[in-house]
Structure 1
């Protein structure tokens, strides 16, 4: 028996077992397999993302057009995200996630062939990103909601934090490899490696033991279920306040695929290696921050607000850095701040949401965090083109700090509850 598979010591409760280790959730075989597949796939995903951004800059030499390409990836989420969450609540999440991984692999393979043949132009690149976004409508809520079916409630905050940490560890590898490969061989190998990476997720999903899962009761088809999900969030402060912060930062702050290429190329005159280094340094900071986050037993609106303020201040420091080495040092801290904010927001919303609402809650979270890019990426890209990349990054930093301060004020009237009612009722 593996050390990770060993049961908790006799006499200990599930909560006690969860505190035995920062990586307690990895004792669970299904979760361990799932995270292994996800970590490998995210390396490929980020290689594709970096390559797409670099290709868009090569084709257009415009921050606004780079923002347009980035926005195209998230437009379907903005338009259809809530419906995607409802589909997840109604269907088997593992089967749905397996299907999305197959579709992702096909999309990446098509992009590989077109890039190799030299046929990719801006309109075609936008169309391919729209297809990617359409698949993400179902993939993102299914992927995040599935975690609650792999671990028990006591392990859920730890599992979400580990997920963020391992994903960011993979992101540390992906951008760095992408920068090296693009400089030596171009963007096509990045697309090819991304295609291959989806095999890891598909294999891990097929290997999950159904008997050890904790399936959520599926939602019965009825009218008005999307409206019911939105109303549920609006009347639940533990969901509404984090959601406001996620929407503001998702639109204006989490636009690093736009701001960092502009900063590294226009301000510091670095090539693809500089962009890859910036993304890799951020991911390294996220990994370091993740090791602190995994030890947290819970999150609150107040702690999330504080992390938003600190994160915003760090982004402003990166924007004002006088040279690339100092900018990279600041981005290391920005990465740490990003995982603290992101993981805390996910933990709050997944533990506060009723199980039958979780797919819709996660999808509405995704609309803000990812779909907000449809508005934010072109806006921030236009700011970068008109006023300089530093201004574009400052917009995001100030937005995060401002919404954090606002929610700190609001949260004073909300009682602090470490384990929300919805979580206790599971």
Structure 2
């Protein structure tokens, strides 16, 4: 009786997707991979902070990692639509492991320099440009279409979970051992991911797109498709603009930790832990809610709230008050990103999924330009003032584009 009750409960939630073997394997692989990616991004920011106190260099780390997404994600989307997505994922994760271990070795041998951190960020950013479209488009092949929205929401729990585990391992490893051991651990996480991906069914991910079509024609077809799908186009634009300015928070966190809150790696780790905890709570709320909420309204609401919380955080100098704000930033940020992806995935046609999701990833890649803006603006003025301006701009554009989206979807209905 209890089993039947549990099955009935979970059948109405995102957790029902765990019933499918391929999805379970994909989810586990993504979990370990995202722990690695989380630690890689924030580990590099902290590493750069120990090498130089320049805010410009902090911005350049994120810019170097995300600029390739702006330039190469469309190529990655074409690869995803024309070739086996699982094979692409196995290759990219293997190279993630190799280059992360190289970073650890360079630190261990005391050969690391700011320019090497930036160069390695560019390399992994290029891998991301190929990896993300394939990864994003795979979910539709491993669960039935009626479970796709819940599958995407359940997948987003990974980001919240890894953002909690990451800080828990960050401070002990960096303070007790040394930061190079963090990169060694990340490398082994990626190797473990590859092993799990090898257990997945390669035949499920064979491309249905005609391979004789040239890359240029595939690109033109992709842009032509997005041009006709105004609803998808406006959601992508909202994500890109919000992503452009929201990157300022994670870039400036080491500066806030060091200069505003007068903290060390433990304080930094605590802030990141609370950020991840808020994100995890946000994804759990979405997963339990299932389809019982208006996704578009929540997307617009969460984007506006993110900007508002940035404005509030920028004016805080007390660490304890800041720690109360951080979980809410994590929560609305996860809502924004998860729902943006979910809505697009449910609207897009299968043959254009890879190319469309590569364009959607510009919302992440736009943070590359945001990194330049943040670094130079913070160096010229101050980190709190830069975060304040970012928050105001997020609020303005979220309201403006949100009104357009609500009007467009009401006409479609």
**1:186 is matched with which residue: 174, 178, 193?**
178
Q: Which residue of 2 aligns with 1:424?
A: none
Q: Secondary structure at the match of 1:255?
A: helix
Q: Which residue of 2 aligns with 1:276?
A: 269
Q: Which residue of 2 aligns with 1:92?
A: 84
Residues 81 and 182 of structure 1, relative CA distance in 2, 3 Å threshold:
same
Give the CA deviation at 1:215: 5.7
Alignment partner of 1:117 is 2:109: yes
Q: Which residue of 1 aligns with 2:221?
A: 228
Give the CA deviation at 1:256: 3.2
Q: Quote the Cα distance in structure 2 between the aligned partners of 1:266 and 1:276.
A: 15
Q: Which residue of 2 aligns with 1:369?
A: 363
- Partner deviation per Cα, 1:28-68 (whole Å, 9 max, x = no partner): 11111111121122222222222211111111211111111
The runs of 5 or more residues in structure 1 that have no matched partner are 10-16, 421-426
Q: Which residue of 1 aligns with 2:372?
A: 378
Alignment partner of 1:217 is 2:208: yes
Give the CA deviation at 1:319: 2.0
**1:296 is matched with which residue: 269, 274, 290?**
290
Q: Which residue of 1 aligns with 2:330?
A: 335
Residues 192 and 149 of structure 1, relative CA distance in 2, 3 Å threshold:
same
**2:253 is matched with which residue: 249, 254, 260?**
260
Q: Secondary structure at the match of 1:287?
A: helix
Q: Secondary structure at the match of 2:200?
A: coil
Give the CA deviation at 1:146: 0.9
Give the CA deviation at 1:361: 0.9
Q: Secondary structure at the match of 1:253?
A: helix
**2:387 is matched with which residue: 393, 398, 401?**
393
8 A contact 2:13–2:290 mirrored in 1: no
Give the CA deviation at 1:88: 0.8
Give the CA deviation at 1:385: 2.4
**1:44 is matched with which residue: 19, 33, 36?**
36
Q: Normalised by the size of structure 1, how large is the TM-score?
A: 0.89
Residues 91 and 214 of structure 1, relative CA distance in 2, 3 Å threshold:
closer
Q: Quote the Cα distance in structure 1 between the aligned partners of 2:114 and 2:406.
A: 48
Residues 315 and 62 of structure 1, relative CA distance in 2, 3 Å threshold:
same
Q: Quote the Cα distance in structure 2 between the aligned partners of 1:398 and 1:156.
A: 34
**For this pair of structures, how many residues does the alignment match?**
407
The runs of 5 or more residues in structure 2 that have no matched partner are none
8 A contact 1:64–1:378 mirrored in 2: yes
Give the CA deviation at 1:391: 1.8
The CA RMSD over aligned residues, in Å, is 2.4
Q: Quote the Cα distance in structure 1 between the aligned partners of 2:176 and 2:236.
A: 42
- Partner deviation per Cα, 1:56-108 (whole Å, 9 max, x = no partner): 11112111111112211112111111111111110010111011111111111
Q: Which residues of 2 match residues 191-202 of structure 1 at below 5 A?
A: 191-202=183-194
Q: Normalised by the size of structure 2, how large is the TM-score?
A: 0.92
Alignment partner of 1:145 is 2:137: yes
Q: Which stretches of structure 1, 4 residues or longer, exceed 6 Å deviation after superposition? A: none
8 A contact 2:239–2:360 mirrored in 1: yes
- Partner deviation per Cα, 1:185-214 (whole Å, 9 max, x = no partner): 221001000010012321221112457x47
- Partner deviation per Cα, 1:205-245 (whole Å, 9 max, x = no partner): 1112457x476623532343213212322321221111111
Q: Quote the Cα distance in structure 1 between the aligned partners of 2:127 and 2:309.
A: 33
8 A contact 2:86–2:205 mirrored in 1: no
